[in-house]
Amino acid sequence: MVEVYCAICGTPIYTSGSVDSRKIWLNKVILLTSAHESENGIELELDLYYPRTNHPRSLWSYHLGPHPPDEAQRRVLRLDTDVDNDICEKPYFKLAGSGKKVRALSVHLACHPLPPGGTQGGPIYLPVHRHCLHIADCFIQSVDASMHTSSEEYHGKITSIRQLWEVLYRRLEGYILADQWVLQEPHDYFGGKSCRSMEWEPPNDPPYGALLEENPVEIPNITKSILQNLEPIPTGLPTGLISNVQDTDDFQWVNNLRNTGLVCDYTYSQDWWCRALIHKKMLPWLWDIDIHEIRERQQSGNWNWELLARQLSQVEIHEPHDTTLKLPLGLRNRRRIWRILEEGRVDDVAEPEGRARQEAIEEKQRYWAIMHSQIQVPTRSFPSSFPPPPPPFRGTS
Ligand SMILES: [Zn+2]
């Protein structure tokens, strides 16, 4: 049976059959869609998306039709779904409450197939795990207010639920008959490619298959699992290193610490690093660590909090082979999903693909133009996969 995959994490959504308790999070599903206020300003109408059938640059994206709604009135909806064992016809989901059955990962048309020459738009529903949406909410909350206005660095990035929607839906192939079960992601979701086939089989891609199935939110003993990596302060450090510390209450520079060097410089005290860890803006993906547990450990000895923070800042610790730290798979999976959100950009899939397709078309047009003008060109200038050009125009005389 075909699996449908979460638009955020790239792991399947289990909507039928028995699921063991470890994997129960995989069948808790929300459908994302977008809507706008109706003209009376009271009701919400779902946004309708149209395929771009004739535009070579836009094969990856739908558009909002000839009369798009006002951007200021658009919003993202989260629709609860009922797990329905009777719906074996994936990728359909049943909306909680109304019981309406909707098709995910394509434009949901009221009438299909279309009459000849007809155009029609429909809503898009993207399935995501509840837990993955929770991680996305934590991610968005962690984005500092200054990031919205300060620099180009955040242009197109996920800084709001609206922007998350823009990133995700634009990864949907923009033609109406797409049978798509998983959205493209520029990094192929950082693992699991070999088992992300028609049938999800985790053993097909060890150890990523097992990693992707681990619950990334409810992680038992999360704080202990991190603190097991804490090392004592090395002995014999030059006294100057310890006495010249520059502690401040400013944690700004360690906000969302990423890939900092692993060599400690002891510019700040260990207490400062411990406070920065508790501050949670340093490593916002650890939003649920237990502050009391950390304080207790801090008081139990002389620990190297700086080294732990630098290790936790390495973005590739989601890799199951990474030896920087001993971490449970659930926490590695969380860091993987967090990285997917960090890297997400509007049109991140569409732009390179669209450019490549357009360049191929333009190159083919140049080829045909040259052949029509009967200028001899070396055949090796063009890919052998090009079709033979049409016969040159010879006039009527
Ligand atoms: Zn997910």
pLDDT per position as a tens digit, 303-343: 999 999 999 999 999 999 999 999 999 999 999 999 999 99
| d(CA 294, ligand 1 centre) in Å | 29
* 9 alpha carbon – ligand 1 mean position (Å): 4
d(CA 49, CA 70): 14
d(CA 383, CA 381): 7
Is it the case that residue 201 has pLDDT exceeding 70?
yes
Residue 128: strand pairing partners: 30
Measured in Å, residue 354 CA sits from the centre of ligand 1 at: 27
**Amino acid 172: pLDDT:** 87
- The contacts found for 233-242 with CB under 8 angstroms, 24 or more apart, are 233/270, 233/302, 233/303, 233/304, 234/304, 237/266, 241/265, 241/266, 242/266
**Whether the predicted pLDDT of 72 surpasses 60:** yes
Task: Say what percent of the chain tops pLDDT 90.
Answer: 48
**Average pLDDT of the residues of the chain:** 82
State residue 226's pLDDT score: 98
CA atoms within a 13 Å half-sphere pointing along the CA-CB vector of 364: 13
Q: Which residue has better confidence, 202 or 286?
A: 286
Digit-coded pLDDT (tens) for 147-165: 655 566 788 899 999 999 9
pLDDT of residue 397: 31
- When pLDDT is cut at 50, 70 and 90, the band that residue 51 belongs to is confident
Closest CA to 230 of 158, 312, 135, 291: 312
DSSP-derived secondary structure letter, 227 = H
| Residues 228, 109: Cα–Cα separation, whole Å | 53
**Cα(10) to centroid(ligand 1), Å:** 6
Q: With bands split at pLDDT 50, 70 and 90, how would you rate the model's confidence at 394?
A: very low
Q: Are strands 92-95 and 74-82 parallel, antiparallel or unpaired?
A: antiparallel
Cα 185 from Cα 177, distance rounded (Å): 20
Q: Beta strands of 49-132 (E only): which ranges? A: 74-82, 92-95, 101-103, 126-129
Average pLDDT over residues 281-291: 94
- Per-residue pLDDT at 207: 93
Yes or no: say if 127 and 105 are a contact pair by the CB < 8 Å rule: yes
Instruction: Give me ligand 1 centre to Cα 320, in Å.
Output: 18
Q: Quote the pLDDT of residue 302.
A: 93
Q: For position 16, what pLDDT does the model report?
A: 61
Q: Give the model's pLDDT for residue 20.
A: 81
pLDDT in tens, 77-134: 999 997 655 555 667 888 998 888 888 888 877 666 665 655 678 899 999 999 999 9
Contacts of 84 (CB under 8 A, 6+ apart): 15, 16, 94
Which helix (H) or strand (E) element contains residue 164? Answer: helix 161-169
Confidence bin at 381 (pLDDT 50/70/90): very low
Q: In this structure, what token pair is assigned to residue 213?
A: 């199935």
> What are the residue ranges spanned by the domains of the chain?
4-212, 222-322
Token output for 371: 């052949």
Q: How far is the CA of 5 from the centre of ligand 1 (A)?
A: 8
Kindly report which listed range (132-136, 149-153, 227-231, 368-372) carries the lowest average pLDDT score: 149-153
